[in-house]
Amino acid sequence: MTSDYRKKIIRLKNVWKIYQMGKVRVEALRGLNFFVRKGEFVAIMGPSGSGKSTAVNMIGSLDLPTHGKIFLESHDISYLSESELAQIRGRKIGFVFQQFNLINTLNAMENVMLPMIFQNKCLADRKKRAQLLLEMVDLKDRMFHKPTELSGGEQQRVAIARALANDPDVILADEPTGNLDSKTGKIVMEFLCRLHREKKKTIVLVTHDQYLANVAQRIEYLKDGVIIEKKR
């Protein structure tokens, strides 16, 4: 393996996230240390209330820590402004969530094209890239259908194509099969595994399902805001 392949692309160092809810202080993360190397497939598991959602927000640059540092490649992003974080997210990280988060007034191609607008890609390039990605997820014949005309599995595949729109280094998948039946969920997971295997994408999968987590190279178990166990 090359040194580039093995470099840490995301690193959380002693990350705390504390929410003050009236007089109640909630410590969602309590000194979380986590990293993922370039080209790695990592799963994060934990029960409800373990801090998984907050960890996703930190890993995906959706929120900033109360204490600690977050590094994307070698850059400390812990103190960036929201506009700066948004630009980094757009280029570096693709998101796949349990809720598909597609815009119902746009068709599949327009949904996939949307992230590219914010990176100032021209219309011709956006259309070409969206078509290519929808063909890759086997939705060539559904490009001009709106989300309400698609099945749950098809919507999630549109979401995967959208996550790849700006060719990000990392795909962050938060319970990506949570709203799907087991057969459709398996198809979605096969696409994620294919992205890792064939496209060398770095995948961070957040799940409560041990069966899904077993496809990862490494599993990190989260409880009470800290990693308590690691398995390969």
pLDDT per residue of the chain (232 residues) written in tens, 0 to 9? 444 557 899 999 999 999 999 999 999 999 999 999 999 999 999 998 899 989 999 999 898 999 999 999 888 988 888 888 888 888 899 999 999 999 999 999 999 999 999 899 999 999 999 999 999 999 999 999 999 999 999 999 999 999 999 999 999 999 999 999 999 999 999 999 999 999 999 999 999 899 999 999 999 999 999 999 999 8
Range of the domain at 154: 40-63+81-231
Distance CA 21, CA 19 (A): 6
Residue 161 maps to a domain: yes
- Give the pairing type, strands 67-72 and 75-76: antiparallel
The radius of gyration of the chain from alpha carbons, rounded to an integer in Å, stands at 18
Residue 143 maps to a domain: yes
Q: By C-alpha distance, which of 3, 70, 5, 11 is closest to 38?
A: 5
Residue 49 maps to a domain: yes
Instruction: Tell me the two tokens of residue 141.
Output: 């014949």
DSSP 3-state assignment of 8? strand
We report the CATH number of the domain holding residue 222 as 3.40.50.300
Strand partners, 231: 219
**Number of folded domains that form the chain:** 1
Residue 71 maps to a domain: no
CA 120 to each of CA 69, 110, 113, 160, 198: distance values in angstroms, whole numbers, following the listed order: 30, 15, 11, 21, 28
Residue 2 maps to a domain: no
Residue 111 maps to a domain: yes
Residue 44 maps to a domain: yes
Residue 175 maps to a domain: yes
